[in-house]
C-alpha cells in the first residue's frame, strides 16, 4: 500500500523547512519534504556569497516570528547549520535529488509525480522560490559573452573590472564583496537606491565615499556588445563602458509553468491566487515563501508562512 502523507512539501528552502518543522512540532505525523537538489536551501547555497551577513530584517522589512522556530541575524554558514539542526532535531523525512514534475488531484488525494517516484498526500505545500529562474534583462545577452555575464558570484575571480546591475540588497552586497579584490561599478536605473536595508545603504555609501565602489545611478542599460571578448555596456545616455564581467542581481521570476502543472490558479499577471491561509483555489494545495510575494520575500517571512499553514492544516485534520 502506498503511504498517504498528511503533508508533502515541495522545496527545501526556508519556506519548505518552516512548514515541515512547524508541522512536526504541532504533532502532524506524516510529513514529507522533497527537494530537487542534493541538499536543502539551494538559494542560500548558490546565491549567497561565503560569509555573507544574513539579516533577519531583509530588505528593510521588520518581521516578528509567529511560530515555534526562532530565527536571528547570522551568516550564510550559520544559517545553513541552523537549518541542518532543525531538520535533524525534528527528524524530518526529506528526500533530496527528488524533483517534482507535477501534482494531480483526484478524489481529494494529491498524486505528486517526481523523478524518484510518485507520492500521495492529503495536503501539499509548494515552496519552490523564485531563484530557479533569475530575472534577466529585456535585451539579449550576446552568446559569446555568456561566461562573463552572470547571475551569481560563482564564476568571479580577482583583479577584474566588474559591473553589478541592480538596486536591491543583493546588488549592494555583491558589489561591496567583489570590491575587495576587483574594480567594481554598481549600476542602477533609479537616481538613488531605495530598496536596500539601512545597514546595506550605509555600507554602500561608505564604499563609494572611499572609492572602493563606483556608483552609477540614474542611468539605464540598453544592451551589451562583445568588444574583443569583453563586455561592452551600452547606456541609455549614449555612452558606453567596457568591463571584464557583468553581474545581474535582479531577483527571480515566478515559476509559472511549474505552478500551472501543479494546478495552481494564476491571476492575470501570472501570480498565484491564494487566501489568508496561503491556500490556493485548489483546496488542500498551499503556497509558501517567495512565490507568495510579487517581489522580495525573506527567510523570516517564509518561516511565518510555514507556521500559518501548519496550524491551519492541523485544525483541518
Ligand atoms: C543574494 C540574496 C541574498 C539574500 N539575503 C537575505 C538575507 O540576508 N535575509 C533574508 O531574510 N533573506 C535574504 N534573501 C531572500 C531569501 O533567500 C528568500 O526570501 C528565501 O530563500 C525564500 O525561501 P523559499 O523557501 O521561498 O525559496 P528558496 O529559498 O528559493 O527555496 C526553494 C527550494 O525549492 C527547490 N525546488 C525548486 N523547484 C523544485 C521542484 N520542482 N521540486 C523540488 N524542489 C524544488 C529549490 O532547489 C530550493 O532549494 C536573499 C536572497 C538572495 C537572492
Q: What is the pLDDT of residue 94?
A: 97
| Those residues with Cβ within 8 angstroms of residue 49's Cβ, 6 or more apart along the chain or in another chain | 76, 153, 173, 174, 177
Quick: pLDDT tens for 62-104.
899 999 999 999 999 999 999 999 999 999 999 999 999 999 9
Q: How does the average pLDDT of the chain come out, rounded?
A: 94
Task: Report the pLDDT value the prediction gives residue 36, as an integer from 0 to 100.
Answer: 97
Beta carbon of 31 within 6 Å of any ligand 1 atom: no
In angstroms, what is the span from residue 15 Cα to ligand 1's centroid?
8
Of ligand 1's listed atoms, the one at least distance from the Cα of 52 is 8
92 Cα–ligand 1 center, Å: 19
Ligand 1 center–CA 290 separation, angstroms:
7
Locate 141 and state its grid cell: 545577452
Give Cβ neighbours of residue 275 (< 8 Å, ≥ 6 apart): none
pLDDT in tens, 240-266: 999 999 999 998 888 999 999 999 999
pLDDT of residue 84: 98
CA–CA separation, 109 and 270 (whole Å):
26
Report CA(131)–ligand 1 centroid distance (Å).
6
Q: Whose CA is nearest to atom 41 of ligand 1?
A: 100
286 forms bridges with which residues in the sheet?
125, 279
Tell me the pLDDT band of 1, cut-offs 50, 70 and 90. low
CA 304 / ligand 1 centre spacing (Å):
14
pLDDT digits (tens, 9 = 90+) for 115-150: 999 999 999 999 999 988 888 999 999 999 999 999
Domains of the chain: 4-132+252-316 (3.50.50.60), 143-248 (3.50.50.60)
Tell me if 128 CB under 6 Å of ligand 1. Answer: yes
Q: Are 123 and 313 in contact (CB under 8 A)?
A: yes
Q: Which atom of ligand 1 is nearest to the CA of 296?
A: 19
What pLDDT does 314 receive?
A: 96
DSSP the chain: ---EEEEEEE--SHHHHHHHHHHHHTT---EEEE-SSSSS-HHHHHHSPTT-EE-SSGGG------SS-----EEHHHHHHHHHHHHHHTT-EEE-S--EEEEEEETTEEEEEETTEEEEEEEEEE---STTSB---SSPPPGGGTTTEESSSTT--SS-EEEEE-SSHHHHHHHHHHTTTSEEEEEESSSS--SS-HHHHHHHHHHHHTTSEEEEES--EEEEEEETTEEEEEETTS-EEEESEEEE---B---HHHHHHTT--B-TTSPBPB-TTSBBSSTTEEE-GGGGSSS---HHHHHHHHHHHHHHHHHH-
| Residue 222: count of CB within 10 angstroms of its CB | 15
Please report the pLDDT score of residue 182 as a whole number. 97
Probe target for ligand 1 pocket from 63, 75, 129, 196, with the most ligand atoms within 8 Å of CB: 129
Name the closest-CA residue to atom 19, ligand 1.
Answer: 298
Number of Cβ atoms within 10 Å of the Cβ of 39 = 15
Question: Quick check: CB of 290 below 6 Å from ligand 1?
Answer: yes
Average pLDDT over residues 276-300: 92
Q: Is 170 in the pocket of ligand 1 (CB under 6 A)?
A: yes
**Does ligand 1 lie within 6 Å of residue 284's CB atom?**
no
pLDDT, one tens digit per residue, over 197-254 is: 888 999 999 999 999 999 999 999 999 999 999 999 999 999 999 999 999 999 888 8
Q: With a 6 A CB cut-off, is 166 part of the ligand 1 pocket?
A: no
Indicate which atom in ligand 1 lies nearest the CA of residue 40. Answer: 49
Average pLDDT over residues 164-171: 93
What's the CA gap between 11 and 14, in Å, rounded?
9
The Å distance, Cα 4 to ligand 1 centre, comes to 27
Is pLDDT above 70 for 191?
yes
pLDDT at 155: 85
Mean pLDDT on 265-271 = 91
If one residue of 86, 272, 299, 304 were mutated to test the ligand 1 pocket, choosing by the most ligand atoms within 8 A of its CB, it would be 299
Residue 83 in contact with ligand 1 by CB distance below 6 A: no
Q: For residue 195, what pLDDT is reported?
A: 79
* Ligand 1 and 16: CB distance under 6 A: yes
Amino acid at each position: 500500500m502506498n503511504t498517504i502523507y498528511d503533508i508533502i512539501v515541495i522545496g527545501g528552502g526556508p519556506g519548505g523547512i518552516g512548514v515541515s518543522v512547524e508541522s512536526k512540532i504541532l504533532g502532524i505525523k506524516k510529513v514529507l519534504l522533497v527537494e530537487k537538489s542534493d541538499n536543502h536551501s539551494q538559494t542560500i547555497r548558490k546565491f549567497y556569497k561565503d560569509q555573507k551577513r544574513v539579516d533577519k530584517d531583509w530588505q528593510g522589512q521588520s518581521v516578528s516570528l509567529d511560530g515555534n522556530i526562532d530565527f536571528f541575524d547570522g551568516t550564510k554558514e550559520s544559517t545553513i547549520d541552523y537549518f541542518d539542526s532543525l531538520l535533524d532535531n525534528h527528524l524530518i523525512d526529506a528526500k533530496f535529488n527528488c524533483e517534482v514534475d507535477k501534482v494531480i488531484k483526484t478524489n481529494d488525494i494529491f498524486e505528486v509525480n517526481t523523478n524518484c517516484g510518485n507520492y500521495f498526500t492529503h495536503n501539499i505545500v509548494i515552496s519552490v522560490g523564485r531563484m530557479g529562474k533569475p530575472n534577466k534583462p529585456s535585451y539579449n545577452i550576446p552568446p559569446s559573452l555568456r561566461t562573463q555575464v552572470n547571475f551569481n558570484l560563482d564564476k568571479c575571480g580577482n583583479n577584474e573590472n566588474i559591473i553589478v546591475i541592480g538596486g536591491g540588497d543583493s546588488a549592494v552586497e555583491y558589489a561591496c564583496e567583489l570590491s575587495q579584490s576587483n574594480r567594481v561599478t554598481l549600476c542602477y536605473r533609479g537616481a538613488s537606491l531605495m530598496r536596500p536595508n539601512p545597514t546595506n545603504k550605509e555600507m554602500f555609501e561608505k564604499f563609494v565615499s572611499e572609492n572602493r565602489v563606483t556608483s552609477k545611478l540614474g542611468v539605464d542599460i540598453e544592451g551589451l556588445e562583445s568588444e574583443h571578448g569583453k563586455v561592452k555596456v551600452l547606456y541609455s545616455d549614449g555612452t558606453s563602458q567596457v568591463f571584464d564581467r557583468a553581474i545581474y542581481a535582479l531577483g527571480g521570476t515566478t515559476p509559472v509553468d511549474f505552478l500551472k502543472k501543479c494546478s495552481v490558479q494564476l491571476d492575470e499577471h501570472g501570480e498565484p491566487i491564494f487566501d489568508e491561509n496561503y491556500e490556493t483555489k485548489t483546496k488542500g494545495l498551499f503556497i509558501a515563501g517567495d512565490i507568495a510575494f510579487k517581489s522580495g520575500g525573506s527567510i523570516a517571512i517564509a518561516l511565518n508562512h510555514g507556521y500559518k499553514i501548519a496550524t491551519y492544516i492541523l485544525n483541518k485534520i
